[in-house]
Chains A and B, each alone.
Chain A
Amino acid sequence: MPKLGRLFVAFCFAIAATMVSAQEKTGIKQGFQLQPGTARILLLEPSVRVGSQSTGGLFEPNADWTEQAKNNLERELSEVQGRLGNRVDRHELDGSSASAKLHDYNALFGAVASSVIEYQFFLGNRLPSKKKDKNEFSWSVGPGLKDVPALKGYDYILMIRTKDAFGSAGRKLLQIAAAFGGVGVTAGEHIGMAGLIDIRTGELVWLNADLQMGGDVRTTEGAVKRVSQLLEGFPGRGVQ
């Protein structure tokens, strides 16, 4: 794994600390509407990771937290998915070669979402060509998506990813120390994103993303809050 210059990384963090506030959270394809009762949505197995962040910034997975969070989020999702206005089915991602294509697309969803967040949502880093039309949101993985066998019979993919790293006590102290020194050190991360992809066209029609999400996902209430944030403004939802 290539080594990163430390100043490099430090600079990024310092900027990130200031930039978190100057960030948009949602994008939606211009004019996109989803009528309730008209679509079948495939929820790809959500990626849920919960752990703590040590003083050194290391992510330490915590089994109990992850299991709790996964259960809470899945439960809440299955509660809510009935109220999204359209039918939602869940799909497990396994390691078989039959699902290789879906894996490839899943990786690509991540790359597209990252680009949206990095070059559109972050106002200070927005690509100039995307500044002209504030309402423009055209991101796609292309027309090949509809040919993936596992997606047959579905109209949209719902992709959900969360990662929560709770700052340890050491990390919190470090953050205070760093704040005095003007160095940006994030304490805990609560990253989440939810994206809706039109299978027929491959377009990312909707994306919610936040690097500082609310709700402690280890608790039921927290998961409720988190899912509500993730799916805030979900197209075609009707009354919230």
Chain B
Amino acid sequence: MMALSKALLRVAAVTCLASPSLGADTYTLPPYSPAYEPRTLDERGLWMEADVHEKRLAGSPMRIRDDHLSQYVRDVLCRTVGSDRCGGVRVYIVDIPAFNATMMPNGAMSVWSGLLLRVRSEAELGAVLGHEFAHFELRHSLLGFQNRRSNSDLAAWIQVLGAIAQRDVSDTQLSIVGSVYRFNREQEKQADLLGLKYLKSSPYPSRSASEVWQHLMEEADATAAGRMIRKKHQYSAGFFDTHPTELNRADYLLEEALKFNDPGEAGAKEHYKAVEKYLPRFLSSQIRLNDFGGTEYIVSGIAGHTGWTGALLQARADMYVSRGNVRDLITATTLYLNAIDSGYQRPEIYRGLGLGLIKLGRNDDGRKYLKLYLENVPDAQDKKMIQLYIDDAGGE
């Protein structure tokens, strides 16, 4: 089998200096030439690590091995950056409920399920993938790495003076697929601008890039509201940790996009069709994150495009059950019933509804639904537990 590092011969990159200029004309894409070899010491070190990481990523149990889904993501990438560029890229989808996509210096790209849940169209997905590809094309990972080093040097001196030591020992798959490379604001801007150029040449509207950030910030606000924390409008956690963002990032992206004046088909319908099969699973993982506000925002955002489908109603109900305040049970009950009425009659709904009704003291109604649940899933893992409630509701 060909060594992964040889794949770099198939992966094209701009063969220019470490800080490439983007060309005088802000609208056209720079030319792209194949054949790229990592040159400096640090660079080769990163490629070598990347090859090792990619091997492990390929064999990881966290990987979603679905050819259709992977093909969908690849197609969006290729439509965004063009077939010249997307040729040698390997796409890996990872089941992690957070918004992220990464690209390693050797051309391996990871896309997290939390990202697929949050983007609302092919264009938005393309905007994120294009942005990551831009970091790769601009060889930012090398520079980002160096920047990260100097940041931590400074931090270390401060910490010693404060008598505290710190070390990053992360060596797990999560760190591999996760944000290994941090970029500074300047690099983020460069990647944004190159990303916009890809979008301009693509069938997608370039203002989708701005929309991605708007949604992320709104979600962060919703999370904070849900936790009764004051909105800071200073986004630093999670994805923002490695993608420093100011309030105006969405603004300048929109401004640039308006200059391009390129309407296009965003492909919202197509996106939700492609991820439809996985939506309940992604939503269920999201709900487990204990982020009521953020989850509500996401679910409502999807509903804006697809309408309140049974899957979304169920997810919303599950959310309320998870928060578990007194009134939440009543809300959840209503939502479950709405889902059933809409024709979406999943066993989990019967279970959730049944248990909720029992908690509300409506034992007969609760038992009815729990019976339906077991009828639909006769070999349920919690069969014995649920049967107890059917036999003995109110005895808890």
Binding site for B on A (CB under 8 A): 1, 6-7, 9-10, 13, 51, 54-64, 66-67, 93-97, 99-100, 103, 170, 174, 177-178, 181-185
Chain B at the A interface: SS class: helix
Would you call A10 and B149 a contact (CB within 8 A)? Answer: no
Q: Which residues of chain B are within 8 angstroms of A66 by Cβ–Cβ distance?
A: 45, 48
Would you call B160 and A185 a contact (CB within 8 A)? Answer: yes
Contact A54/B149 with A9-B166, A61-B49, A95-B58 known, Cβ cut-off 8 Å: yes
Would you call B167 and A1 a contact (CB within 8 A)? Answer: no
Would you call A13 and B165 a contact (CB within 8 A)? Answer: yes
Q: Can you list the 10 inter-chain pairs with the closest CB atoms, starting with the nearest?
A: A56-B152, A63-B44, A57-B167, A95-B58, A95-B59, A63-B45, A56-B156, A61-B45, A55-B153, A95-B55
Seed contacts A56-B167, A185-B160; 18 additional CB < 8 Å A-B pairs: A1-B170, A1-B174, A1-B178, A9-B167, A54-B152, A56-B166, A56-B168, A57-B166, A60-B45, A62-B45, A63-B43, A64-B41, A64-B44, A64-B45, A95-B56, A96-B58, A100-B59, A183-B163
Q: Which residues of chain B are within 8 angstroms of A51 by Cβ–Cβ distance?
A: 45
User: Is B42 part of the binding interface, using a Cβ–Cβ cutoff of 8 Å?
Assistant: yes
CB distance from A56 to the nearest CB of B (A): 3
CB distance from B395 to the nearest CB of A (A): 39
A-B contact pairs, 18 of them (CB 8 A): A7-B164, A51-B45, A55-B153, A55-B157, A56-B166, A57-B165, A57-B168, A60-B42, A60-B145, A62-B42, A63-B41, A63-B42, A63-B45, A64-B45, A66-B45, A94-B55, A95-B58, A174-B160
Contact A63/B156 with A1-B178, A95-B56 known, Cβ cut-off 8 Å: no
Interface set, chain B 230-261, CB cutoff 8 A to A: none
Would you call B45 and A185 a contact (CB within 8 A)? Answer: no
CB distance from B109 to the nearest CB of A (A): 15
A67 to B49, CA, bound (A): 11
Q: Which residues of chain A are within 8 angstroms of B58 by Cβ–Cβ distance?
A: 95-96
Q: Which residues of chain A are within 8 angstroms of B47 by Cβ–Cβ distance?
A: 63
User: Is B371 part of the binding interface, using a Cβ–Cβ cutoff of 8 Å?
Assistant: no
A64 to B43, CA, bound (A): 10
A97 to B63, CA, bound (A): 11
- Chain B, 146-159, contact with A by CB distance < 8 Å: what is the 0/1 string? 00110111111101
Give the interface centre of A1, A64, A99 by most chain B CB atoms within 10 Å. Answer: A1
User: Is B290 part of the binding interface, using a Cβ–Cβ cutoff of 8 Å?
Assistant: no
Would you call A181 and B160 a contact (CB within 8 A)? Answer: yes
Contact A59/B157 with A94-B1, A94-B55, A183-B163 known, Cβ cut-off 8 Å: no
Q: Which residues of chain A are within 8 angstroms of B148 by Cβ–Cβ distance?
A: 58
Contact A184/B165 with A1-B174, A61-B45, A63-B47 known, Cβ cut-off 8 Å: yes
Would you call A178 and B167 a contact (CB within 8 A)? Answer: no
Q: Which residue of B lies closest to A61 (CB)?
A: B45
Cβ 8 A contact of A96, one of B45, B59, B167, B168: B59
Q: Which residues of chain A are within 8 angstroms of B151 by Cβ–Cβ distance?
A: 56
Would you call A61 and B46 a contact (CB within 8 A)? Answer: yes
Q: Which residues of chain A are within 8 angstroms of B83 by Cβ–Cβ distance?
A: none
User: Is B175 part of the binding interface, using a Cβ–Cβ cutoff of 8 Å?
Assistant: yes
User: Is B11 part of the binding interface, using a Cβ–Cβ cutoff of 8 Å?
Assistant: no
User: Is B116 part of the binding interface, using a Cβ–Cβ cutoff of 8 Å?
Assistant: no
CB distance from A233 to the nearest CB of B (A): 28
Would you call A6 and B153 a contact (CB within 8 A)? Answer: no
Contact A174/B59 with A1-B174, A51-B45, A62-B41 known, Cβ cut-off 8 Å: no
Q: Which residues of chain B are within 8 angstroms of A57 by Cβ–Cβ distance?
A: 152, 156, 165-168
Would you call A94 and B166 a contact (CB within 8 A)? Answer: no
Give the interface centre of A9, A55, A66, A184 by most chain B CB atoms within 10 Å. Answer: A55
Q: Which residues of chain B are within 8 angstroms of A170 by Cβ–Cβ distance?
A: 153, 156
Would you call A58 and B149 a contact (CB within 8 A)? Answer: yes
